[in-house]
Amino acid sequence: MATQTQHSTTRRDFLFVATGAVGAVGAAAVVWPLINQMNPDASTLALASIEFSLAGIEEGQSVTILWRGLPVFVRNRTAKEIEEAKAVPLSELKDPATDESRTKEGHENWLVMIANCTHLGCIPVGESGEFDGWACPCHGSQFDTAGRIRKGPAPTNLVVPPYEFINDTLIKIG
């Protein structure tokens, strides 16, 4: 018996490790669907794109709509707000982005952004804060008239979702 235990690897050791490895892979394969069921389901994913009519939103008016369960700000900006946003030098910005990069060409008055603060997801309050944009009531982040982060803990600008103009008064988000 003593001679057998001195063998470094035996056929039995190999089978033992191989069985264990297959067992581990099998266990992982079983666990994955048990976790994956928590991911967004088909009915949630089915709401991926919506169309929204801009007709009826006056200059200076802002509406909040839902896209994939997320609130989205659609704001018809005033000329003063656009000017303010354009006047800010990029060097003053925490997450530098030009005003043009946050709107669509020829539709610069329209600002479309996901309404959740990029810090922890609260909904900032419009037309408030030191920068005439949005101020988040939760942790004090402040955004300017182009939705760019100017002050507070939020790391990035309010997110512009993928969208396009179908015609002058109709947009498709997603």
Partner 1 sequence: MSEHSTYTPGSGIEKWLDERLPIIRFSKEHLMDFPTPKNLNYWWTFGAILVMCLLVQIVTGVILAMHYTPNIAMAFDSVEHIRRDVNGGRIIQATHAVGASMFFAAVYIHIFRGMYFGSYKAPREILWILGVLIFLLMMATAFMGYVLPWGQMSGWAATVITNIFAAIPVIGTPLLELLRGGFSVGNPTLNRFFSLHYLLPFVIAAVVALHIWALHVPGNNNPTGVDVKDSRDTLPFHPYYTMKDLFGMVLFMIPFAWFIFFAPDILGHPDNYIQFDSQVTPAHIVPEWYFLPFYAILRAIDFNLLFIDSKLLGVIFFGGSILILFLLPWLDTSKVRSGNFRPMFRWFYWLFVINFVALTYLGAQPADGIYVLLSKICTAYYFIHFIVILPVLGRIETPRPLPTSISESVLSKSHA
User: Which parts of this chain interact with partner 1 (CB under 8 A)?
Assistant: 35, 38-41, 44, 64, 66, 68-71, 94, 115-116, 118-125, 136-140, 152-156
Compute φ and ψ for 39, nearest 5 degrees. Answer: -65, 160
Distance of CA 122 to the CA centre of its chain: 13
The terminus-to-terminus CA distance of the chain in angstroms comes to: 71
User: In the complex, what is the shortest distance from the CB of residue 52 to partner 1, in angstroms, rounded to a whole number?
Assistant: 15
Q: Which residues of 125-157 are buried (b: 16+ CB within 10 A; e: fewer)?
A: ebeebebbbbbbeeeebbbbbbbbbbebebeeb
User: In the complex, what is the shortest distance from the CB of residue 34 to partner 1, in angstroms, rounded to a whole number?
Assistant: 12
Using the minimum distance from each CB to partner 1, give the nearer residue, 79 or 120: 120
In the set 7, 107, 119, 139, the catalytic residue is 139
Respond yes or no: is residue 139 known to be catalytic. yes
Tell me the residue length of the chain.
174
Using the minimum distance from each CB to partner 1, give the nearer residue, 88 or 115: 115
Using the minimum distance from each CB to partner 1, give the nearer residue, 82 or 138: 138
Q: Which two tokens stand for residue 142?
A: 């402040």
User: Do residues 96 and 85 lie in contact, with contact meaning Cβ atoms separated by under 8 Å?
Assistant: no
User: In the complex, what is the shortest distance from the CB of residue 30 to partner 1, in angstroms, rounded to a whole number?
Assistant: 18
Distance of CA 165 to the CA centre of its chain: 20
Q: How many CA atoms lie within 13 A of 28 on its CB side?
A: 6
User: In the complex, what is the shortest distance from the CB of residue 37 to partner 1, in angstroms, rounded to a whole number?
Assistant: 9
Q: Which two tokens stand for residue 125?
A: 């309050």
Q: Which are the catalytic amino acids?
A: 139
